[in-house]
Amino acid sequence: MAIQIVVPDLGESVLEATIARWLKNAGDAVAVGEPLVVLETDKVDLEVGAERAGVLTAIAAPAGSDVKIGDVLGSIDDSGSPAAAKPAPAPAQAAAASVSTTASSAAASSASASSTSPADATPVARRMAQDQQVDLGKVEASGTGGRITKNDVQRYVESAVAPTAIASPASVPPSPSAATAPAATMPAASAASSNGRREERIKMSRRRRTIAQRLVEAQHTAAMLTTFNEIDMTAVQALREKHKERFKTDLGVGLGLSSFFVKAAIGALKFQPRLNAEIQNDDIVMKHYFDIGMAIGAPEGLVVPVLRDADKMSFADIEKAIKKLASQATENTLALDDLRGGTFTITNGGVFGSLMSTPIINPPQVGILGLHKIQPRPVALDGQVVIRPMMYVALSYDHRIVDGREAVQFLVRVKELIEDPDRLLIEG
């Protein structure tokens, strides 16, 4: 009996997805629960598994297709056999196989190993393994819960020594018709222009398209302004230096800057609550809880996982949660629940060396705090010029409900709390 594979419920506010790649080919045998296809949404990548054991008889939507909830992706025959369902090779493939049986067999063996990769590998790792013809069974895992990550595959590729080249689909000579076709009709991602300069065309991922759309929408719909201040980081650096060893020994995590700024932001949000609100039609919805989004630059695009009820979390809780979320973002294993909601966002361009920037609001939020690089600078203190570790901070806000006075006072409160971190125990 044929069982349809359909796009499942993708989570709150997620209606569409793009097929990142199929993990199985038509004709392959599949087991119950085995991942079949990776769907790329604007938030996370999701694997769709087989509901029945059988044979994947058809793929209705190829990689790169945009699909909606309920669309048919393919079908499984739970009574068929792999041999009966396996499609015949295309003429070009048959010709290539006759040219070099040994090479094509090696490539098929390697591709098969990649397509039947272990379930404990991230979608990005599987994709890279398939592209690089890597057997995931030989890759050492370093991800959370023993998952193979993109970095694990990259390390394996860099360390591997290949004395002989293995034929791959990219190395199979094109058919005569393809070789004589005009360059404009070729589906290649790159081509040489008339002046000999190389160009490359890469399709945007769904996440990148959504990021672009949301950032443009934020600028079109919000009356967005940015205000700046600078913070002397001397006190926080001294506090971290004093307690970092005991903090890590006793609590099992390093004491970073993130927890200080999360606590300082919460203290400032309590002081200026409209920055923790949102606009719904003609209403201002005041949020009396603090779900702080932490912007993370993941390999597949920017994500903003959320610290729920961050005001109730200790410094150690915050550091552990951020470390876990950052690892999951790198491995592309964040769940939709990790990304939902959020009342205010913090982004840290300083980790990439940014000295100053104007962050863009993450709708429907009305404020975002931007952190930057700590740099020693001369400052005037008690009539003397001294060198202090200084950081520029920026607050972008929606002027529709937040006035300039409130925005400036918010940043001043963040500055006061960071420069006198003892106050964080009370106000953060």
Report domain extents, the chain.
1-87, 90-174, 208-427
Res 112: pLDDT:
42
Please state, in angstroms and rounded to a whole number, the distance separating the CA atoms of residues 211 and 140: 33
Residue 243 falls in the annotated catalytic set: no
All residues at 6 or more sequence positions from 334 whose CB lies less than 8 Å from its CB, including other chains:
43, 44, 303, 305, 325, 328
**Which 3 state secondary structure label does DSSP give 279?**
strand
Q: Would you give the distance in Å from CA 340 to the centre of its chain?
A: 14
Closest CA relative to residue 125, chosen from 16, 23, 208, 8: 23
The predicted pLDDT at position 163 comes to 42
Rounded Cα distance, 262 and 390, in Å: 18
CATH label, 208-427, candidates 3.30.559.10, 3.40.50.720, 3.40.630.30, 1.25.40.340: 3.30.559.10
Strand partners, 302: 297
Question: CB under 8 Å, gap of 24 or more: what pairs does 424-428 form?
Answer: 424/260, 424/263, 424/264, 424/267, 427/267, 427/270, 427/271, 428/262, 428/263, 428/264, 428/266, 428/267, 428/311
From the list 232, 403, 420, 422, the catalytic residue is 403
Tell me the β-bridge partners of 16: 68
Q: Sign of torsion, CA 49 51 57 62?
A: negative
Rounded alpha-carbon distances, angstroms, from residue 285 to 40, 117, 289, 306, 404: 31, 47, 12, 19, 19
List % helix, strand, coil for the chain (3-state, nearest 5): 40, 25, 35
pLDDT score at 234: 97
Backbone angles phi, psi at 348, to 5 degrees: -120, 90
The CATH architecture that domain 90-174 belongs to is Irregular (4.10)
Maximum Cα–Cα distance for the chain, whole Å? 87
Instruction: Enter the pTM of the model.
Output: 0.62
Active-site residue among 398, 399, 420, 422? 399
CB 241 within 8 A of CB 255: no
pLDDT at 123: 67
The conformation of residue 58, written as its DSSP 8-state character, comes to: E
For the domain covering 1-87, report its CATH number: 2.40.50.100
**258: CB partners within 8 A, 6+ apart:** 294, 318, 319, 322, 346, 348
Whether the ω angle into residue 364 lies within 30 degrees of 0, i.e. cis, is yes
403 is catalytic: yes
Per-10-residue mean pLDDT for the chain, 428 residues long?
83 75 89 88 80 88 85 84 44 40 42 48 74 81 75 76 42 40 41 72 78 79 93 96 90 92 97 96 95 89 91 95 92 84 95 93 94 96 95 97 97 97 80
